[in-house]
Structure 1
Amino acid sequence: MTKPESAEQDHGYDVVISGASLAGSAAAILLARRGVRVALLERRSDPDAYKVLCTHSITANAYPVLDELGLIPAVEKTGAPHNDARWHTRWGWIEPKAAPRGPELPHAYNIRRSTLDPMIRSLAARTPGVDLLLGHQVTGLVREAGRTVGVRASAPQGEREIRAGLVVGADGKDSAVAKYAGVPTQRHENTRFGYLAHFRNLPLDGGIGQTWFLEPDMAYAFPNDDGVTVLAVLPDKKHLPAFREDLEGSFLSFIRALPEAPPIDGAERISKIIGTVDYPLISREPTAPGVALIGDAALTSDPLWGVGCGWALQSAQWLAEAVAPAATGRGDLDRSLALYARTHRRRLRGHQFLAVDYAKARPFNPGERLMFSAAARDASMARHMHLFASRLIGPMRFLSPVALAKATAVNIRHRGTAASARPRTHSEP
């Protein structure tokens, strides 16, 4: 339940969570349902506050978390479309489709954070065992014998100290919890910048998301709830001076120049053009003594992949599964935190490694050319690409010997077909 900002008593919490957006609210709900007493702190006082700069898309890897939270009916009720997508490459469109007589492709949703954040925060506030403390900003950690045992927080009514066996940082890429806990931060340069805007009356081919790999520039268009489409451009930073001179003109010109561009001139822009010119990829150890980091606080990836919301929800679930018994005194908390850290690294480190490399704003490397060209030419390879883009399989499976051999065979077969149809004028992967 929501507690007034003037509350001063420590109610004997097991876990304190800093940040009540996707990761923090999900972790609070999942922990409380397992018997954990949770203080959920949010620095903003508005229960309807939301993250503005976001891809507004949840990848399919997070569907089971939405299901466990019980949010699927509410998300469906908003009209949020499935996050089906097609991707433009120099070899044509990659268009994943379900296999004949096969199951539907896994999906999650495109949903604006202005809809999703209040929805999940409200659910957290209604969950028995969760106290939502709005207007509370962490200003320091309480430490004893080398480990964290609580937080100090400021609120409009003054400072307070809240003690708990575990402090969770769900407070974003600039995590104060991580800083106060002394968790080292690895920052990787992102040599693209990004701007986005929201539109109405903007039809997309097939009514699904579109992504353009322009090597090295990027763009995407995602249909969202309430008939809103999010358009984003992510160019190489060499274009930044021109964008800064005329942001609106540069943004619209970039969109108009896309292959099979969405009809932007007939659409209604309903938001400002917002963005960032410096968005590094950040990696941190997900735990420290008495501390766990989830969501962007633990790992912030490149926004062009649209994985942040999905990973926020997944990391919340992994943490709840690992630490709930220990948080209530029925296990060793340090061993439980070590389990969470291993899961986090195993599931996400490979994805982040590839994202860091591609954030250098470079053309496709040979392996990427092999896989993307094959996916544009073969339906089963397109489905394989969909599983990877949805983060349902990791890099090792995506680039397995079997997958590489199949991609090679697809491209050899394509070259044979192309050679019989026309003179060969340049090499193709």
Structure 2
Amino acid sequence: MTRPESAGHDYDVVISGASLAGSAAAILLARRGVRVALLERRSDPQAYKVLCTHAITANAYPVLDELGLIPDLEKAGAVRNEARWYTRWGWIVPKAAPAGPELPYAYNIRRSTLDPLIRAHAARTPGVDLLLGHQVTGLVREAGRTVGVRAATPQGEREIRARLVVGADGKDSAVAKFAGVPARSFENGRFGYLAHFRNLPLHGGIGQTWFLEPDMAYAFPNDDGVTVLAVLPDKKRLPAFREDLEGSFLEFVRALPEAPPVDSAERVSKIIGTIDYPLHSRKPTAPGVALIGDAALTSDPLWGVGCGWALQSAQWLTEAVASAATGTGDLDRALAAYARTHGRRLRGHQQLAVDFAKVRPFNPMERLIFSAAARDASLARHMYLFASRLIGPLRFLSPVAVAKAAAVNFRHRGA
């Protein structure tokens, strides 16, 4: 059992990383009476993550609402993220049922807008000390558990003690490394490049995703009239693609079905990307340590789930540990509860993403569901709920859904 009274603490919780997951966790914990040190290695409060899909899936809307960020996001011009997906059977276009509620949504918003917004919100939250220019260089350990961090600062190295250290420091998490938490790594068979465009109209004014089997592409409208356009081809195409990056990027986009008119749009960013983005999974806890966001699980960027899972994992951690972090409960038991929730909610999604990252065409089950969703409105909505991570793989591929898809395709074949 954790004995929080065994050592003095500067804070209840130290969080390394003041982007989405870290800032969200700091806000939610502080509202529950937890004293939080929020460390950010960069000194600029306007710093942001550059390589991102800029999408927050609908599963994270309740977290945004709890954080009180919805009005600020709307004011900043965040775009509600409707979507349509191209497949070889045609377009899947989810729409609300005629007599039903609107489809759940969250937002597309550039990280250059979102990161400073949520970080400033955290800095204004009573109980949170935002410490910029603080880079974790090691952990303080006693009796086999972590009881704080060492951090390099503009004034020199300092030690900050806390009952709990949270790693919200991304896929290459220093906290995870110092805590000895290894990552299981899975190869991603695609590479990716993206750029930002202004005056790039999209069909219906909503996000588009192209399943080209095995290549992928997407275009998401964002705040300030900027559209993020990304291509994710098979790595076999990489040598030829890199010979002329701009030409290859534009040629790929022009060849898309119902391609957005990229030649008449204004490109307002460099073409940036990554040629190697493996999927990582880590055990999300260790004695005195919790991992959230990409530090715990990094999925394939083509699904746009990273921001949503960062916010959700911050909420799950808060709900599990807030009481124990103040010294009134068993922290080890609380961390175990967080780890169970994290695994139950995300493991199945990650397993499917790992399999699809092998750069294969659709398997028989995917062919069944995707083809039926292109032909049936209720199955299109069903797929939308899964893509928004509001339902898990077991419900997505439930016997009822599979039977309905088979019936839809049978009727289509008969017609």
**Which residue of the partner structure matches residue 154 of structure 2?**
156
**Which residue of the partner structure matches residue 107 of structure 1?**
105
Write the letter of the residue equivalent to 1:398: F
Once the two structures are superposed, what CA deviation does each residue of 1:62-106 show, in whole Å capped at 9, x if it has no partner? 000000000000001122111100000000000000000100000
Are 2:213 and 1:215 equivalent residues in the alignment? yes
Q: How far apart are 1:192 and its partner, in Å?
A: 0.1
CA contact (8 A) 2:373 2:379 kept: yes
DSSP 3-state at the match of 2:236:
helix
Once the two structures are superposed, what CA deviation does each residue of 1:11-52 show, in whole Å capped at 9, x if it has no partner? 720000000000000000000000000000000000000000
Looking at structure 1, the residues matched to 343 and 112 of structure 2 have their Cα atoms a distance apart, in angstroms, of: 30
Pick from 282, 290, 293: which aligns with 1:292? 290
Looking at structure 1, the residues matched to 53 and 268 of structure 2 have their Cα atoms a distance apart, in angstroms, of: 16
Looking at structure 2, the residues matched to 81 and 179 of structure 1 have their Cα atoms a distance apart, in angstroms, of: 36
Alignment of 1:379-418 (within 5 A): 379-417=377-415
**Which residue of the partner structure matches residue 427 of structure 1?**
none
Looking at structure 2, the residues matched to 272 and 362 of structure 1 have their Cα atoms a distance apart, in angstroms, of: 29
Alignment of 1:139-288 (within 5 A): 139-288=137-286
Q: How far apart are 1:156 and its partner, in Å?
A: 1.2
Once the two structures are superposed, what CA deviation does each residue of 1:264-313 show, in whole Å capped at 9, x if it has no partner? 01100000000000000000000000000000000000000000000000
Write the letter of the residue equivalent to 1:120: I
Looking at structure 1, the residues matched to 111 and 9 of structure 2 have their Cα atoms a distance apart, in angstroms, of: 31
DSSP 3-state at the match of 1:258:
coil
**Which residue of the partner structure matches residue 365 of structure 2?**
367
Pick from 323, 327, 330: which aligns with 2:328? 330
- Regions of 4+ moved over 6 Å: none
Q: How far apart are 1:330 and its partner, in Å?
A: 1.5
Looking at structure 2, the residues matched to 245 and 354 of structure 1 have their Cα atoms a distance apart, in angstroms, of: 32
Looking at structure 2, the residues matched to 393 and 266 of structure 1 have their Cα atoms a distance apart, in angstroms, of: 39
Q: TM-score, normalised by structure 1?
A: 0.95
Looking at structure 1, the residues matched to 75 and 242 of structure 2 have their Cα atoms a distance apart, in angstroms, of: 39
DSSP 3-state at the match of 2:105:
coil
Write the letter of the residue equivalent to 2:210: W
Pick from 59, 63, 71: which aligns with 2:69? 71
Write the letter of the residue equivalent to 1:151: V
Q: TM-score, normalised by structure 2?
A: 0.98
Looking at structure 1, the residues matched to 370 and 312 of structure 2 have their Cα atoms a distance apart, in angstroms, of: 27
Q: Which runs of 5+ in 2 are unaligned?
A: 1-7
CA RMSD of aligned residues (A): 0.7
Looking at structure 2, the residues matched to 209 and 106 of structure 1 have their Cα atoms a distance apart, in angstroms, of: 15
Pick from 13, 18, 25: which aligns with 1:20? 18
Looking at structure 2, the residues matched to 304 and 348 of structure 1 have their Cα atoms a distance apart, in angstroms, of: 16
CA contact (8 A) 2:9 2:162 kept: no
DSSP 3-state at the match of 1:117:
helix
DSSP 3-state at the match of 1:362:
coil
DSSP 3-state at the match of 1:377:
coil
Looking at structure 1, the residues matched to 60 and 130 of structure 2 have their Cα atoms a distance apart, in angstroms, of: 24
Looking at structure 1, the residues matched to 234 and 152 of structure 2 have their Cα atoms a distance apart, in angstroms, of: 40
Looking at structure 2, the residues matched to 287 and 403 of structure 1 have their Cα atoms a distance apart, in angstroms, of: 35
DSSP 3-state at the match of 1:212:
strand
Once the two structures are superposed, what CA deviation does each residue of 1:205-247 show, in whole Å capped at 9, x if it has no partner? 0000000000000000000000000000000000100111000
DSSP 3-state at the match of 2:311:
helix
Looking at structure 2, the residues matched to 330 and 351 of structure 1 have their Cα atoms a distance apart, in angstroms, of: 34
Pick from 351, 354, 376: which aligns with 1:353? 351
Tell me the number of residue pairs that the alignment of Structure 1 and Structure 2 aligns.
408
DSSP 3-state at the match of 1:47:
coil
DSSP 3-state at the match of 2:241:
helix
**Which residue of the partner structure matches residue 93 of structure 2?**
95
Looking at structure 2, the residues matched to 157 and 404 of structure 1 have their Cα atoms a distance apart, in angstroms, of: 61
Looking at structure 1, the residues matched to 268 and 234 of structure 2 have their Cα atoms a distance apart, in angstroms, of: 26
CA contact (8 A) 2:136 2:150 kept: yes
Looking at structure 2, the residues matched to 261 and 221 of structure 1 have their Cα atoms a distance apart, in angstroms, of: 10
Looking at structure 2, the residues matched to 220 and 72 of structure 1 have their Cα atoms a distance apart, in angstroms, of: 25
Write the letter of the residue equivalent to 1:187: S
Are 2:310 and 1:312 equivalent residues in the alignment? yes
**Which residue of the partner structure matches residue 421 of structure 1?**
none
**Which residue of the partner structure matches residue 302 of structure 1?**
300
Looking at structure 1, the residues matched to 248 and 179 of structure 2 have their Cα atoms a distance apart, in angstroms, of: 42
**Which residue of the partner structure matches residue 40 of structure 1?**
38
**Which residue of the partner structure matches residue 51 of structure 2?**
53
Looking at structure 2, the residues matched to 138 and 78 of structure 1 have their Cα atoms a distance apart, in angstroms, of: 32
Write the letter of the residue equivalent to 1:286: P
Once the two structures are superposed, what CA deviation does each residue of 1:120-141 show, in whole Å capped at 9, x if it has no partner? 0000000000000000000000
Looking at structure 2, the residues matched to 32 and 315 of structure 1 have their Cα atoms a distance apart, in angstroms, of: 16
**Which residue of the partner structure matches residue 86 of structure 1?**
84
Looking at structure 2, the residues matched to 321 and 142 of structure 1 have their Cα atoms a distance apart, in angstroms, of: 25
DSSP 3-state at the match of 1:165:
strand
DSSP 3-state at the match of 2:79:
coil
Are 2:375 and 1:377 equivalent residues in the alignment? yes
Percent identity over the alignment is 87
CA contact (8 A) 2:9 2:163 kept: no
Once the two structures are superposed, what CA deviation does each residue of 1:319-345 show, in whole Å capped at 9, x if it has no partner? 001000000011100000000000000
